[in-house]
């Protein structure tokens, strides 16, 4: 058949579809006849309901179903014949004018754009790298020690100091009036670990058990409690208990408690370094990938299909509702979420997806089986039973699709870094882990 494709604007196209009315009517009758074998109606035995009753009850829905199927099939055939890459679902409208015995429809839709990727040699990309230093290993050891620390009550004559766990009663007032969240009894925190505002933390240092103290505290302008942000309060604090923390020594016993078979401090440090290097690798990859993707988008020219952006906005809106529901928000599925807030991000995602797909196609950057296997095995190393994790990934098509997407992005990243003007930057370990 010859398909006439009308260009409306940029990516928008229109095709007129014609279907013989008899084909529609015959299919409707066939489906109603099949339905009559199982339909139930008062006063009739199953399978003996008259066709007139079946048609009256189900005729409209069957007609709608058949029209959808037949028009959808005709559109798919027409798009294939015209070699069109359709983006999103078409909008179908029936035409008033049609030939005798015919039904005519207009299918309006968008096609995928031509993606032009400029010369990547002119793109500038900053590539970061991070080393796992002895200092990073020491800090990780400190965290592990704190996770296994114990506390013992200080002597009554000793004041609270850095690292102590204190139990206090406190009450805060602003202009002489109590405020929400400003009072607590038996409240515990550890001095010097940033659990409290710095002024509060400093004020309790040196206090002894049973002692009370009043001090002013200025809440920061950006404090999370908006009612008190930027205001000054007076706090009355009473020290109830002071406990000195005891950190386990980094020795063979400590190493064994962390599952190090050799039971040596050297083996423990080696294991920590290996785990940190694995985490650093993934974080560095993510940062470099983001830099590459930004450069790719800047280097590409394309028109965005509105249908794909709308689909992405719908997915993001649904994701936002699911997040609200997970947080326990009542009637999250009815929450008014304006779709327009997602449009900029949706456009960016669609643009990036189209650009990456074109680069992958043009440069054969698809994920290879051995790359998928290697990526899964590397991720699995951070778990107690790596072989079980590998099987878990390989047994599920959806999980494998997610792995494939990551590997493809890694291939794209390496390809672009090999083409672009790359500036290397050493990123401190702390800065990488804080990001």
| pLDDT score recorded for residue 2 | 57
- Would you state the structure tokens that stand for residue 371, as one six-digit string? 């790359």
Q: Hey, how many other C-beta atoms are within 10 angstroms of the C-beta on 110?
A: 25
pLDDT digits (tens, 9 = 90+) for 388-397: 999 999 999 9
pLDDT digits (tens, 9 = 90+) for 329-348: 877 777 788 888 999 999 99
Q: Enumerate residues 6+ apart whose C-beta is below 8 A from 142.
A: none
**Has residue 322 got a pLDDT over 90?**
no
pLDDT digits (tens, 9 = 90+) for 42-100: 777 777 777 777 777 778 888 888 888 888 988 999 999 999 999 989 999 988 877 78
Across 2-6, 141-145, 201-205, least confident range: 2-6
What does the mean pLDDT of the chain come to? Answer: 91
In order of 19, 73, 98, 104, the CA distances from 101 in angstroms are 9, 19, 8, 10
Q: Enumerate residues 6+ apart whose C-beta is below 8 A from 14.
A: 5, 6, 8, 106, 107, 108, 109
- Would you state the structure tokens that stand for residue 206, as one six-digit string? 């040196």
Q: Rounded to an integer, what distance in angstroms lies between the CA atom of residue 164 and that of residue 201? A: 11
Q: What is the DSSP letter of 211?
A: -
């Amino acid at each position: 058949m010859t398909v006439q494709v009308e260009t409306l604007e940029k990516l928008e196209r229109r095709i007129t579809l014609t279907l013989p009315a008899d084909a529609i009517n015959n299919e409707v009758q066939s489906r109603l006849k099949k339905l009559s074998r199982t339909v139930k109606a008062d006063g009739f035995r199953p399978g003996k309901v008259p066709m007139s009753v079946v048609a009256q009850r189900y005729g409209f829905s069957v007609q709608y179903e058949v029209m959808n199927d037949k028009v959808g099939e005709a559109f798919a055939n027409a798009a294939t014949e015209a070699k069109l890459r359709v983006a999103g679902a078409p909008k179908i409208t029936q035409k008033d004018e049609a030939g005798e015995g015919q039904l005519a429809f207009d299918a309006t839709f968008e096609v995928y754009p031509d993606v032009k990727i400029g010369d990547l040699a002119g793109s500038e990309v900053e590539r970061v790298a991070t080393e796992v230093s002895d200092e990073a290993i020491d800090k990780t050891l400190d965290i592990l020690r704190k996770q296994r620390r114990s506390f013992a009550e200080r002597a009554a004559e000793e004041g609270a100091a850095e690292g102590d766990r204190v139990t206090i009663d406190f009450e805060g007032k602003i202009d002489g009036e109590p405020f929400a969240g400003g009072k607590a009894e038996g409240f515990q925190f550890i001095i010097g670990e940033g659990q409290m505002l710095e002024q509060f933390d400093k004020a309790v240092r040196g206090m002894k058990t049973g002692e009370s103290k009043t001090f002013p505290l200025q809440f920061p302008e950006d404090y999370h409690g908006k009612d008190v942000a930027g205001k000054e309060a007076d706090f009355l604090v009473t020290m109830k208990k002071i406990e000195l923390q005891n950190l386990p020594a980094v020795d063979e016993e400590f190493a064994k408690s962390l599952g190090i078979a050799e039971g040596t401090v050297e083996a423990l440090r080696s294991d920590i370094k290996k785990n940190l290097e694995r985490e650093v690798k993934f974080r560095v990859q993510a940062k470099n990938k983001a830099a590459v993707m930004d450069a790719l988008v800047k280097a590409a020219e394309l028109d965005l299909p509105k249908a794909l952006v709308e689909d992405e906005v719908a997915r993001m809106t649904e994701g936002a509702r699911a997040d609200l529901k997970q947080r326990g928000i009542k009637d999250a599925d009815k929450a008014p979420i304006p779709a327009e807030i997602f449009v900029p991000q949706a456009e960016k995602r669609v643009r990036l997806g189209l650009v990456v797909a074109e680069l992958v196609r043009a440069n054969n950057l698809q994920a290879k089986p051995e790359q998928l296997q290697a990526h899964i095995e590397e991720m699995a190393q951070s778990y107690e039973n790596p072989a079980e994790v590998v099987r878990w990934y390989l047994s599920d098509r959806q999980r494998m699709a997610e792995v494939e997407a990551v590997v493809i992005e890694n291939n794209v990243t390496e390809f672009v870094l090999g083409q672009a003007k790359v500036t290397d930057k050493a990123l401190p370990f702390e800065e990488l882990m804080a990001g």
